[in-house]
Amino acid sequence: MKDFAVIQTGGKQYKVSVGDVLKIEKMPGEFKEGDTISFDKVLLVDNGKDTTIGTPYIDGAKVQAIFEKAGRAAKIDVVKYKAKSKYYKKRGHRQPFFEVKIKSIQ
Protein backbone atom coordinates (compact mmCIF):
# COMPACT_ATOMS: atom_id res chain seq x y z
CA MET A 1 0.00 0.00 0.00
CA LYS A 2 1.26 3.47 -0.89
CA ASP A 3 1.93 6.18 1.65
CA PHE A 4 -0.63 8.94 1.50
CA ALA A 5 -1.66 12.14 3.23
CA VAL A 6 -4.74 14.32 3.37
CA ILE A 7 -4.02 18.02 2.90
CA GLN A 8 -6.22 21.11 3.01
CA THR A 9 -5.82 23.96 0.53
CA GLY A 10 -8.22 26.39 -1.06
CA GLY A 11 -11.06 25.33 1.25
CA LYS A 12 -10.91 21.74 -0.02
CA GLN A 13 -9.29 18.53 1.17
CA TYR A 14 -7.22 16.26 -1.10
CA LYS A 15 -5.89 12.73 -0.60
CA VAL A 16 -2.37 12.76 -2.09
CA SER A 17 0.46 10.31 -2.66
CA VAL A 18 3.97 10.90 -4.02
CA GLY A 19 3.81 11.32 -7.79
CA ASP A 20 0.15 12.40 -7.92
CA VAL A 21 -0.75 15.30 -10.21
CA LEU A 22 -3.74 17.32 -9.05
CA LYS A 23 -5.54 20.57 -9.79
CA ILE A 24 -5.92 22.85 -6.79
CA GLU A 25 -7.39 26.31 -6.27
CA LYS A 26 -5.17 29.21 -7.29
CA MET A 27 -2.87 30.39 -4.47
CA PRO A 28 -1.64 33.95 -3.81
CA GLY A 29 1.85 34.82 -5.01
CA GLU A 30 3.91 34.47 -8.16
CA PHE A 31 4.94 30.96 -9.22
CA LYS A 32 6.79 29.68 -12.26
CA GLU A 33 7.23 26.15 -13.58
CA GLY A 34 9.44 24.05 -11.31
CA ASP A 35 8.86 26.08 -8.12
CA THR A 36 8.30 24.15 -4.88
CA ILE A 37 5.06 24.67 -2.99
CA SER A 38 4.81 23.51 0.63
CA PHE A 39 1.50 22.51 2.20
CA ASP A 40 1.62 22.61 6.01
CA LYS A 41 -2.09 22.04 6.64
CA VAL A 42 -1.78 18.25 6.81
CA LEU A 43 -4.81 16.53 8.33
CA LEU A 44 -3.74 12.88 8.12
CA VAL A 45 -0.63 10.85 7.24
CA ASP A 46 -0.60 7.08 6.62
CA ASN A 47 2.66 5.22 5.94
CA GLY A 48 1.22 1.70 5.60
CA LYS A 49 1.81 0.76 9.24
CA ASP A 50 0.89 3.84 11.29
CA THR A 51 -1.82 6.42 10.77
CA THR A 52 -1.40 9.87 12.31
CA ILE A 53 -4.48 12.05 12.61
CA GLY A 54 -4.19 15.77 13.36
CA THR A 55 -6.28 17.89 15.72
CA PRO A 56 -7.00 19.57 13.29
CA TYR A 57 -3.48 19.63 11.76
CA ILE A 58 -0.37 17.55 12.37
CA ASP A 59 2.46 19.65 13.86
CA GLY A 60 5.65 19.51 11.78
CA ALA A 61 4.09 17.57 8.90
CA LYS A 62 4.63 18.91 5.39
CA VAL A 63 3.77 17.93 1.85
CA GLN A 64 6.08 19.27 -0.86
CA ALA A 65 4.80 19.74 -4.41
CA ILE A 66 6.24 21.01 -7.68
CA PHE A 67 4.31 23.72 -9.54
CA GLU A 68 3.63 22.52 -13.09
CA LYS A 69 1.26 25.05 -14.62
CA ALA A 70 -1.50 27.57 -14.03
CA GLY A 71 -4.63 27.54 -16.10
CA ARG A 72 -8.31 28.20 -16.25
CA ALA A 73 -11.05 25.57 -16.29
CA ALA A 74 -13.69 25.24 -18.99
CA LYS A 75 -16.22 28.03 -19.25
CA ILE A 76 -19.41 27.77 -17.23
CA ASP A 77 -22.41 29.79 -18.42
CA VAL A 78 -24.56 31.39 -15.73
CA VAL A 79 -27.99 32.31 -17.10
CA LYS A 80 -30.78 34.17 -15.27
CA TYR A 81 -34.14 34.21 -17.01
CA LYS A 82 -37.70 35.11 -16.11
CA ALA A 83 -40.49 34.21 -18.50
CA LYS A 84 -42.85 36.89 -19.86
CA SER A 85 -40.85 39.79 -18.40
CA LYS A 86 -38.03 40.39 -20.92
CA TYR A 87 -35.48 39.53 -18.21
CA TYR A 88 -32.42 37.64 -19.45
CA LYS A 89 -28.85 37.84 -18.18
CA LYS A 90 -25.95 35.68 -19.27
CA ARG A 91 -22.53 35.61 -17.65
CA GLY A 92 -19.56 33.34 -18.18
CA HIS A 93 -17.01 32.16 -15.61
CA ARG A 94 -13.68 30.35 -15.89
CA GLN A 95 -12.22 29.20 -12.56
CA PRO A 96 -8.42 29.57 -12.30
CA PHE A 97 -6.39 26.58 -11.04
CA PHE A 98 -2.84 25.41 -10.33
CA GLU A 99 -1.62 22.00 -11.44
CA VAL A 100 0.92 20.54 -9.00
CA LYS A 101 2.84 17.25 -8.72
CA ILE A 102 3.40 15.83 -5.23
CA LYS A 103 7.12 15.43 -4.54
CA SER A 104 7.35 14.27 -0.91
CA ILE A 105 5.39 13.66 2.29
CA GLN A 106 7.19 14.34 5.60
Q: What is the pLDDT of residues 40-50, one digit of tens each?
A: 999 999 998 99
Task: List, in order, residues 6 or more apart from 73 with CB less than 8 Å away.
Answer: 94, 95, 96, 97
pLDDT per position as a tens digit, 7-61: 999 999 999 999 999 999 999 999 999 999 999 999 999 998 999 999 999 999 9
Rounded to two decimals, the pTM is: 0.85
Strand partners, 23: 99
Mention every residue, 6+ apart, whose C-beta is less than 8 A from residue 15: 4, 5, 6
Asked if 103 and 38 count as a contact pair (C-beta separation under 8 A), the reply is no
- Quote the domain boundaries for residue 19: 4-105
Domains: count for the chain: 1
Run of H or E residues at 48: none
